[in-house]
Amino acid sequence: MVLPNPTASMRLVRDKIFFTPAGAAFFIFALIILINSLFNRNSYEIVLSGTALLVLLFTGLTGYWKSRKAIAMEPSWKPPFPMTAQAGLTNADEQTLITGLNVSVPLFFRLHYIIRGRFFPGGSKHGCRVSAETSVPRGKTSAQITLDFPMSGILRAQGYCRIRDIFGFFSFKCGLAQNRAVNVRCAPCFGRKVYINAQSGAEDRRSKPSNDVERYYMREYAPGDRLRDINWKSSDKLDALITRISTDNQEKVSRLEIYFRNFGAQVSLEELWLLDRAKARLSYFLRSIKEQNSSFIFDVRAAQGSWEIEDDEDLDLFLEELAGLSFFPPMNETVQNISGGGEEKKGDIYIFSTACDSGLQSYLLACNPRPVTLFLLQPPEKSREKTKTETEYLRMGDFNSRGCVLPPRLLKRGKLKPLSVHANRVDIYYAGIKL
């Protein structure tokens, strides 16, 4: 037995209804006055109520006729790429563009574009209702609408057009609807940059073929190059350190192992905010390292899979997928999982995690003797709140101000406590929730 889809049913009913609440109330009020005046034989009330009903009828027929003419219109809404949280309200370039509005509307009518759907913060299974609307300027075939969210996640919504009169009595569906799924990246974070020594990662030697014409080539000096390979004559001329690389040799490329531990029991908005800030720290780390040395290769692992990032295109694709990653149930990890199937690995390990990761300490112990750098997101401690230490806060009111309605399940406050873990290097960041 196939059960009906309540969302589709509500959408069908919404498309069939053309009276707005104000229009329905006005119609009932005018009709009652007309019936009452006919019984009382009040000519003034008969003329007044009859005129109101005639105006209402004329307006409704005009709007219905125009909506039928524009039934084949194909409007399209295109959000900015990449779409970033906390950017739509302040940056005009982050506005969602609406095109294909090539229809003329009668006088006293306006064309409206509405986007409705659900936003899943942090990629969770509990969605927030989203609603945004804009009025298209008369004579224009495009418009912009503000879609903004306080944190990362996935937006699944439908965009559609309606013709409405300026009195607010009628609303007629027109054109074709368009469904989209959009990944919303986390708002950027800033802080001290992490400087990586090229020798701290695992080495990946790549052979370069040689020929009799070109024995070597030169490039700018990069950390990890041998001092004896520096071409001092060229460096003096160019006022920069130039390294001579022989094509007969194998060039060293450093690989960095990065683990994004998105393990936890997703029950509250507080935990999702910690995960969001962990994503922001990982994004900032990857971008800053790439700016330092573009030859680094990142091997990123998360609970849902693994990625190899070699260039900016790979990095952009990964950040798009990272926006939709949510919590994964805790799992038992063996040494084979950590070492990569029993293969011996070398170099530093960089781990990004949150206070929701109950198995973090055992994982750190299993990484020995390799050096570990941990970036940990913790809830703010009461003692630190009094001293006004730097903490990134998410305000629940930001959801309502951006057209999102939080589900009650996410409003539940959990008993989240800071973790006490040990690693070679631990960078702790704080993130909390405020009303």
Q: Taking the CB of residue 328, how many other CB atoms lie within 10 A of it?
A: 14
- In contact, 270 and 395? CB cutoff 8 Å: no
Kindly report, residue by residue over 24-48, the tens digit of the pLDDT: 999 999 999 999 988 888 888 899 9
Instruction: Give the CA angle between residues 302, 308, 313 to the nearest 5°.
Output: 115
Instruction: Assess whether pLDDT exceeds 70 at residue 91.
Output: no
Domain spans of the chain, in order of start: 6-185, 209-248, 255-434
Q: What are phi and psi of 188, to 5 degrees?
A: -70, 150
Q: Taking the CB of residue 20, how many other CB atoms lie within 10 A of it?
A: 16
Instruction: Give the pLDDT confidence score for residue 1 in this predicted structure.
Output: 37
Instruction: Give the pLDDT confidence score for residue 416 in this predicted structure.
Output: 79
Kindly report, residue by residue over 183-229, the tens digit of the pLDDT: 999 988 877 767 776 555 555 545 444 444 344 567 777 766 777 77
CA dihedral (388, 392, 397, 403) in degrees, to 10, reads: 160
Pick from 381, 416, 399: which is nearest to 275 by CA? 416
Q: Cis omega before residue 137 (within 30°)? A: no
Instruction: For residue 417, give the amino acid letter.
Output: K
What would the two tokens of residue 165 be? 């009169």
- Pairing label, strands 128-135, 404-405: antiparallel
Kindly report, residue by residue over 294-319, the tens digit of the pLDDT: 888 899 999 888 999 988 889 999 99
Instruction: Give the CA angle between residues 296, 302, 304 to the nearest 5°.
Output: 130
Task: Please state the separation of Cα 161 from the chain's center in Å.
Answer: 25
Instruction: Give the pLDDT confidence score for residue 386 in this predicted structure.
Output: 42
Residue with tokens 């293969």: 343
- The helix, strand and coil proportions of the chain, stated in percent and rounded to the nearest 5, come to 30, 30, 40
Kindly report, residue by residue over 98-129, the tens digit of the pLDDT: 998 888 888 889 999 999 999 999 888 888 99
Instruction: Give the pLDDT confidence score for residue 334 in this predicted structure.
Output: 53
Calculate the average pLDDT of the chain: 81
* Global pTM exceeds 0.85: no
Q: Cis omega before residue 380 (within 30°)? A: no
CA dihedral (354, 355, 358, 361) in degrees, to 10, reads: 80
Residue with tokens 């001290």: 192
What would the two tokens of residue 41 be? 């034989």
Computed on alpha carbons and rounded to an integer, the radius of gyration of the chain in Å comes to 30
Kindly report, residue by residue over 43-60, the tens digit of the pLDDT: 888 999 999 999 999 988
